[in-house]
Structure 1
Amino acid sequence: MRVLRQAARIPVALCVAGILLVIGIISMAGGGRGVLSPERAGADPAAIAQHHWWVLITSQLIAGSWPALIIAVVATIIVVGWAERTMGGARTVLAFVVTGTIASLVGLGLEYIGSRAGEYWTSSVSALDTLDPLTPIAGTLAWASAGANGIWRRRIRVLLLTGAVAMLLYSGLPSDLYLLVAVGVGLLGGRLTLGRSAIPHWRSSRRERRGLLALVTIVLALGPLLSLAAPVRFGLLAPLGVTMSDATPSGRMPRVGCGNGRFDLNCVNALGHAHLHGVGGTLLSILPLVLMLVGAWGLLAGRRAAVWMLAALGLVQSAVAAWYLGILPATTSAGPPPGRHNAELVVWVAASILVPFAFSLILLAERRSFPVRVARRRALVITGLLAGWALVCVAVALAGSWLLRDQFRPAATWAGLLADLPSRFVPSSFLRSQPLVLHPTSPLANVVVHGAGPLFWVGVIVATVLLLRGTGTAVVAPDAARIRSLLARGSGTLGYMATWAGNSLWTSSNASAGIAYRVVGGVAVTTSDPFGSPAHPGAVLREFVEFCDANAWTPVFYSVHEPVRATLAEAGWSSIEVAEEITVDPRGFSTSGKAMQDVRTSVNRSRRDDLRVRWATWSEMPVRITAQITALSEEWMSSKDLPELGFTLGGLDELRDDDVMLAVVLDTEDRVRAITSWLPIRRDGVLMGRTLDMMRRAPGAPNGVMEFVIAEAMSHFAAEGLVVVSLSGSPLAGAGAERAGAPLAQVLDLLARTLEPLYGFRSLLRFKKKFSPALEPLHLVYRDPVTLPAIGMAVARCYLPTLTVRGLGEILRDRQNR
């Protein structure tokens, strides 16, 4: 039923997918012949010359192969379906038709003009028939992105633009040009029909710049694979893709154009059409790309070492492209032969050199956005190990070749081995246009020749991972000595939890406010609202976010009240309710009335049993009492399958603070029947209230003892002149309407359901509601929906820092078997 309800929301997408499927099956069944053949239905400049205008539509509805058909149908259901839910069916149809038609018309027009002018690229691709349903799909997505929220709008557009540009640069097929045009038309269409900006705004935080640079790194890493895997390559950077592989058979230059040292288009085109061969050449091509992907991961984590590594790799890549595509061909002949395509050739070569060079400069210019530095000693150790590994690889290559010197042609000599050594680690096509000095003639010699390079690159990748995984040193928080003075100025109901172990303290630049937080997996989770006496709370929040960005952390404001949520919401942040805080004014508290009947009964029963409450701090309590409290807590914990929770839930260690007041229920024999602890709430140095933290009930204690101690607390605090008592919030027990369906809420609800049988958060919330309190929601506020899985895991690890996924699974299985 759920699937049917979802399908009913996307009739246009399903209709388009059905059309693509039917036409695709008919076309495939016809074996590429008839009216649906590529020659009749595909887009090419000849169709424009012959006024076959129907190709503007048919080329967008026919897939060229079964895999392409499957991808197109799935993409239509997912992408066009999302667009339909975002902007409605009518706009979706408009976007699909307009973007596909205009893209084909503009692309074919450019091809036609270029081919008539003799331009090399258009002349090369003019004979290709283009069939690509992904063009209108991408255009529709770009159009609908205007209806998405700010974060997703930017992300969708970055992915579409970078992907389309990469396809055009590295593959260079006509369909890639159509794709880029369709994305541009879609952005403009979204601007006109949905009223949102069509151009992404790049003014962003350092965290967002890190993400953008990591995305560009991924594109540059995967781009060469497009040119290597493509059967034909016409992209501007197709030669760059070839330089990253040993793409010429047996390490020789292609015979056409390059074999005689001529630097012309035949040479570049031959390089562009060459294919990979052998396991060694394949690994030597792919491993540097894997290294770039590892570097992209380091950029996301804010590691400055990743910046230096990728910048160095880009400069080396640029130098190799300059030597291989420029200097070497030019110096092995009298120079480029005259021809009308020489200007285009220069552009091709310049792009192959300048793109990685420019990206390296951009990385270096943005290095301050990557603050996490690896400890100097760790960097030196890993660098030394890598240098040693490189020497081992060189020694193995030389020694192995010398031992097998009779299995090379010509026979290996030390001079020949040294001259041939660079080709073991860099494809020989990088180095010269002549054949290799030594050629292996046996399988074993071939393994020696092609094995040292991949082993070296594997070592580089492993060393890079170890380097980037280092804890590193980042920007540190200011001195935490002012925490208690800040709490005295204004702590809020949950602010005193900032003093607990495991929290870090951040203070504002003017020292007027502080925020307590914990960093788990790169996510900085606050314990509650800012505390102190900030003159401008919004500025404090922005400053803390900048502090997190400087440390490459994802800021998450947890258990914050409405003022903080509202301030962040104005800046575009999202939120969900995670708990409900129970607050009571003790001055007006009474157990009279029907609603308080259960509490009144419990209080009367406890008084008949001669129970009493003793108020004191831990240091003021007799040893016999504190020993019982310790034993009670340990016994309570022994009944739980999970370790004691932390974060916003205090334990025995937190009771020892002299600012924490204990309310201990004793019987006539001074046995501890229950205990509660109360945290201070101060404003301008004056104690204004208390917040309930620990609650423990002794086994065998009379029913209603907890209601009794809380009711007594209200009377005690009213007598002290306090104006607010918070019964705190029950973690993970929020049930606000806004939580329904939110991805993070589902993660937190799963955690709450898992822990409910063990800790009873929701039953605790029901218990606290007995006291006729005011309910105030506590929120989790986050900036980026992409980080929701990491946020959910971080919150779980804050409460259970020592629990592993495996350990939780074992506990749940044990409970099911009982």
Structure 2
Amino acid sequence: MTAPSSLHEIEAQDEPAEGGWRPFLRRHQRYLSAIGTLAMIALFGVAIFHLTAEVKYEDVVAALAGTSWTTVATAVLFTGLSFLALTFYDVGALDYIKRKLPYADVALTAACAYAVGNTAGFGPLSGGAIRYRSYSRLGLEPDDIGRVIAFVTLAFGLGLAAVACLSLLAVAEYVAPLTGIDPFWLRAIAVLVLAAMLAVMIAARSGHEVSIGRFTLRLPDTRTLSRQFLVTALDLAASATVLYVLLPAGTIGWPAFLAIYTVAVGLGVLSHVPAGLGVFETVIVATLGRAADVDAVLGALVLYRVIYHVLPLLIAIVVIVGMEVRQFAGHPAASSLRRAGGRMTPLLLATLALVLALMLVLSGVTPTPDENLAFLANHVSLPIVEGAHFLASLLGLALVIVARGLALRLDGAWWASVVIALAALLLSLVKAMALVEAGMLAFFLVGLLASRRLFVRPASLFGQALTPPWLMALGVICFGALVVLLFVYRDVEYSHELWWQFEFSAEAPRGLRALFGVTIGATAVAIWSLMRPATTAVAPASEEDMERAIAIVAAQDMSDANLVRMGDKSIMFAADGRAFIMYGRRARSWIALFDPVGPVDAWPDLIWQFIETARSNGCRAVFYQVSPRGLAYYADAGLRAFRLGELADVDLERFELKGGKWANLRQQVSRGLRDGLEFSVVEPADVPAILPELAAISGAWLAHHSAREKGFSLGAFDPDYIVTQPVAILRCDGRIVAFANVLVTGTKEEGSIDLMRFSPEAPRGAMDFLFAQLMEYLKAQGYRRFNLGMAPLSGMSSRRLAPVWDRAGRTFYEHGERYYNFKGLRAFKSKFHPHWQPRYLVASGGLNPILALMDATFLIGGGLKGVIRK
């Protein structure tokens, strides 16, 4: 039972495309967003290049070298305090939604989420993905995880806005030149924002809803908001101090610097640039450049990025990889940490791969220290140094490409990463004796080797098309390298002769050639990824495939898996043949119906096989009506779950028409007996004899309801389908007046029905009578559960901070009766006092869930006309 929609045959043609600029924007939103982000980076790159016009690269290096170890240790200490404060965002979120998890698990998840988010800062490796993978393994449902992510985002956003506005009151004069707004108006804006936030807090002091025009905000109570504001203030104070102690002494007072830092972070967040790269630096340099030497400020910013962004990532990898070592993994206290950490390791290593990629590319456009260059001149020939320099930069580009495969846990990406890291390690020594660079690559190699067991997904690495966020990462690296190259060699006058100058002292030509190679390589990868394969029609299941699938269905517990007998879906089998996925295609969606059918231990590889095959055909992978049991596997594959409704499940072992709660149903059964209804179950071998009567009833039912046959997630009246399973019938005066085909499997774990048809002459309450009698019949046959099917949009969360998907679904459930009898369907199933279980749509984020649900609706209903005509 599902929401209205369906199809007999999977259509090969898509619906006509809607014209106009709005559909164009919707279709290309992610690409346009990536282009906008790159334009923003270019703008701030040009700004910082001009702000540092008088700065020399050697002065920045000298400022870095002049930083004392005591200062570095102090910065590390405050980094730890900042991350400790960050863990309490998640603690507060879980407390607010009334879910309890061990602090160690929460702290590990939060620290890893922020380590990845602060460093990479873009979609596929965001903190939300970390939380989703970790918390789903720790038992949280998708809507709970969505509320945690929403709470954390809102808490940080409100706290940052409050601290930034309070800061503007103190340092408007510093920020005014950067924004072009008079200090008076900056303070006025800050006061207005603070007043608005205070008014909202007062209005929501008891957790009530606050309406602003057509919008309704559900805010936490004042106590929770105040606590989270304190967490934000502590976090910002600690992280600001990290950079403050790295600046030259006496540059600026700490309160004033906190204000500037907060504004810089806020502008970085608003820009949507990954990690605020370039935006944050521009604000700091623009505001502090007149109070201190710019070279010292730049040196502090570089060190700040390493300490506050890269170091926590390395520590997180050490902790989680350490838990992979068997002697620690066996300790009871480490079991839940290891369960959560194992799902975060690929994302952490993928983030580190991006950091190393940036390091290798930037290393290619910066000069080698003179003493290292002299050593190489005495021991290595020039062609080898030149070749190592150029190849190391290209390996940096290759690391960006394999980073996506690492995030997806591809075995090919693991092998490629090992080879690339090992080659880059050797080349870093040959090209520049870069010991720090080699050490980072060695650390990466150790992390890869220690977590080998996590990368088991077989997939073609070259068949992976980079998505817009990953293409944006390529663009960020290339443009960053260009800015650094121009900054380092701003005193070198360009000439065509630079391209073919090969000398140990010719550092600028080497950097120019390296950047050219990286740019050409990145362009080729982008073109390859953008030339996505055309979608292909999926092949229908053959008779042999149907026989194999039906044999698997008979040996497992899910009765709805019998829908494979309709023959309107394609079938994909696991490599070992023990499980299968039934699916259909609509537009660019490959839609799998239910979880995989077969043993649970065969699910992970089969889910990944389906996702990869869909992607290789240029389509999105979608799983429709899946159970909570498989959510962790979908999360591991980088997909997200969105609630569709609830499935009603009756415990037949406790089902009996006795007691007060069954009074209404007993009356319906008694009425049916008085009306002369007779119930029986016809076995498959005897069904052909009654097919003409069943066909007449089905036709009359469709005509009476002005409906057409559905498909995909619903059965249709097809004689070849009806005769494959038992049929429950009701007779009145010797004539069949209602029937339902019964779905069963050999395990007798569950029974269900698909088609329910009755003639207009059937007595009122006939279907209640049929259901009750069928349940008693199946109970007598030894079946343990009865699946009443799904109530669409039922159970959507109405709690504070519920995801937008849930709020929209709840609104449609409450007010969409003119389109579909949502409440009536749930009320009918509730007569049987079932246990309600959530069912989900699983897809990647962004607009994909909405597009996938539309495609599923059209697939079930037979296209747009089928949906409109019911």
What is the TM-score normalised by the length of structure 1?
A: 0.52
Alignment of 1:499-510 (within 5 A): 499-510=565-576
TM-fit CA distance, 1:692 = 1.9
1:215 counterpart letter in structure 2? P
Question: 1:777 — aligned with what?
Answer: 837
d(CA) in 1 for partners of 2:624, 2:264: 37
The answer on whether the counterparts of 2:650 and 2:787 sit within 8 Å (CA) in structure 1 is yes
The CA deviation string for residues 739-763 of structure 1, in whole angstroms up to 9 with x for no partner, is: 9713333354455457543332332
Question: 1:801 — aligned with what?
Answer: 859
TM-fit CA distance, 1:580 = 3.3
Question: 2:275 — aligned with what?
Answer: 160
TM-fit CA distance, 1:723 = 4.0
TM-fit CA distance, 1:508 = 0.9
The answer on whether the counterparts of 1:513 and 1:533 sit within 8 Å (CA) in structure 2 is yes
Ranked by relative contact order (alpha carbons within 8 Å, sequence separation 6 or more), the top structure is 2
Question: 2:777 — aligned with what?
Answer: 716
TM-fit CA distance, 1:621 = 1.6
Question: 1:326 — aligned with what?
Answer: 496
The CA deviation string for residues 447-487 of structure 1, in whole angstroms up to 9 with x for no partner, is: xxxxxxxxxxxxxxxxx8xx647325899999834211211
The CA deviation string for residues 507-549 of structure 1, in whole angstroms up to 9 with x for no partner, is: 1111011122344565544322322346555555555555556
Q: How many residues align?
A: 539
Q: 1:572 to 1:347 in 2, by over 3 A?
A: closer
Please give the secondary structure, in 2, of the residue aligned with 1:530: strand
TM-fit CA distance, 1:577 = 4.9
2:160 counterpart letter in structure 1? A
d(CA) in 2 for partners of 1:761, 1:695: 17
Find the partner of 2:519 among 356, 365, 376.
356
Percent identity of paired positions between Structure 1 and Structure 2: 18
Question: 1:693 — aligned with what?
Answer: 754
TM-fit CA distance, 1:811 = 10
Question: 1:217 — aligned with what?
Answer: 471
d(CA) in 1 for partners of 2:549, 2:866: 35
Question: 2:553 — aligned with what?
Answer: 487
Q: Which moved more, 1:718-727 or 1:795-804?
A: 795-804
Question: 1:246 — aligned with what?
Answer: none
1:16 has 2:163 as partner: yes
d(CA) in 1 for partners of 2:178, 2:163: 13
Find the partner of 2:232 among 84, 87, 92.
92
Alignment of 1:224-239 (within 5 A): 235-236=483-484
Please give the secondary structure, in 1, of the residue aligned with 2:838: strand
Question: 1:634 — aligned with what?
Answer: 703
Q: 1:592 to 1:132 in 2, by over 3 A?
A: closer
TM-fit CA distance, 1:19 = 3.9
Question: 2:820 — aligned with what?
Answer: 759
Alignment of 1:460-475 (within 5 A): 468=532, 470-471=534-535
The CA deviation string for residues 182-210 of structure 1, in whole angstroms up to 9 with x for no partner, is: 54443268669999888735422279995
The CA deviation string for residues 649-702 of structure 1, in whole angstroms up to 9 with x for no partner, is: 333348843223333434337363x4323222233xxx6653122234544643
2:583 counterpart letter in structure 1? Y
The answer on whether the counterparts of 2:169 and 2:190 sit within 8 Å (CA) in structure 1 is no
The CA deviation string for residues 253-282 of structure 1, in whole angstroms up to 9 with x for no partner, is: xxxxxxxxxx995754xxxxxxxxxxxxxx
The CA deviation string for residues 425-447 of structure 1, in whole angstroms up to 9 with x for no partner, is: xxxxxxxxxxxxxxxxxxxxxxx
d(CA) in 2 for partners of 1:743, 1:517: 27
d(CA) in 2 for partners of 1:107, 1:538: 50
The answer on whether the counterparts of 1:586 and 1:723 sit within 8 Å (CA) in structure 2 is yes
The CA deviation string for residues 227-271 of structure 1, in whole angstroms up to 9 with x for no partner, is: 9xxxxxx9235699xxxxxxxxxxxxxxxxxxxxxx995754xxx
TM-fit CA distance, 1:583 = 3.2
Question: 2:180 — aligned with what?
Answer: 65
d(CA) in 2 for partners of 1:655, 1:474: 22
d(CA) in 1 for partners of 2:470, 2:226: 27
Find the partner of 1:530 among 592, 596, 610.
596
Find the partner of 1:186 among 302, 305, 308.
308
The answer on whether the counterparts of 1:727 and 1:768 sit within 8 Å (CA) in structure 2 is yes
Any unmatched runs of 5+ in structure 2? 1-149, 202-218, 252-256, 321-347, 353-402, 414-460
The answer on whether the counterparts of 1:614 and 1:664 sit within 8 Å (CA) in structure 2 is yes
Please give the secondary structure, in 1, of the residue aligned with 2:572: strand
Please give the secondary structure, in 1, of the residue aligned with 2:646: strand
d(CA) in 2 for partners of 1:343, 1:490: 70
Q: 1:190 to 1:743 in 2, by over 3 A?
A: farther
1:648 has 2:713 as partner: yes
2:233 counterpart letter in structure 1? V
Question: 1:204 — aligned with what?
Answer: 407
d(CA) in 1 for partners of 2:765, 2:540: 48
d(CA) in 1 for partners of 2:661, 2:164: 59
Which structure has the larger Rg? 1
Q: Which moved more, 1:201-210 or 1:190-199?
A: 190-199
2:407 counterpart letter in structure 1? S
The answer on whether the counterparts of 1:265 and 1:345 sit within 8 Å (CA) in structure 2 is no
The answer on whether the counterparts of 1:680 and 1:689 sit within 8 Å (CA) in structure 2 is yes
1:561 counterpart letter in structure 2? S
d(CA) in 2 for partners of 1:805, 1:177: 61
d(CA) in 2 for partners of 1:519, 1:609: 46
The answer on whether the counterparts of 2:570 and 2:584 sit within 8 Å (CA) in structure 1 is yes
Q: 1:239 to 1:746 in 2, by over 3 A?
A: same
Question: 2:670 — aligned with what?
Answer: 604
Please give the secondary structure, in 1, of the residue aligned with 2:727: strand
The CA deviation string for residues 50-107 of structure 1, in whole angstroms up to 9 with x for no partner, is: xxxxxxxxx7x9634249999x989x999xx99x989944553354345556547758
TM-fit CA distance, 1:727 = 1.6
Q: Which moved more, 1:497-506 or 1:592-601?
A: 497-506
The answer on whether the counterparts of 2:751 and 2:786 sit within 8 Å (CA) in structure 1 is yes
TM-fit CA distance, 1:777 = 0.9
Question: 1:703 — aligned with what?
Answer: 764
Please give the secondary structure, in 2, of the residue aligned with 1:236: helix
The answer on whether the counterparts of 1:492 and 1:529 sit within 8 Å (CA) in structure 2 is no
Please give the secondary structure, in 2, of the residue aligned with 1:679: strand
1:635 counterpart letter in structure 2? H
d(CA) in 2 for partners of 1:7, 1:739: 12
d(CA) in 2 for partners of 1:549, 1:535: 23
The answer on whether the counterparts of 2:641 and 2:842 sit within 8 Å (CA) in structure 1 is yes
Question: 1:315 — aligned with what?
Answer: none
TM-fit CA distance, 1:360 = 5.5
TM-fit CA distance, 1:212 = 6.1
Aligned-residue Cα RMSD (Å) equals 5.9
Alignment of 1:24-173 (within 5 A): 27=173, 36=174, 63-66=178-181, 88-90=228-230, 92-97=232-237, 99-100=239-240, 103=243, 136=262, 159-160=274-275
d(CA) in 2 for partners of 1:621, 1:803: 28
Q: 1:730 to 1:557 in 2, by over 3 A?
A: same
1:483 counterpart letter in structure 2? A
Q: Which moved more, 1:500-509 or 1:542-551?
A: 542-551
1:678 has 2:745 as partner: no
The answer on whether the counterparts of 1:517 and 1:525 sit within 8 Å (CA) in structure 2 is yes
2:746 counterpart letter in structure 1? R
Q: 1:106 to 1:7 in 2, by over 3 A?
A: closer
d(CA) in 2 for partners of 1:622, 1:473: 33
d(CA) in 2 for partners of 1:361, 1:166: 30
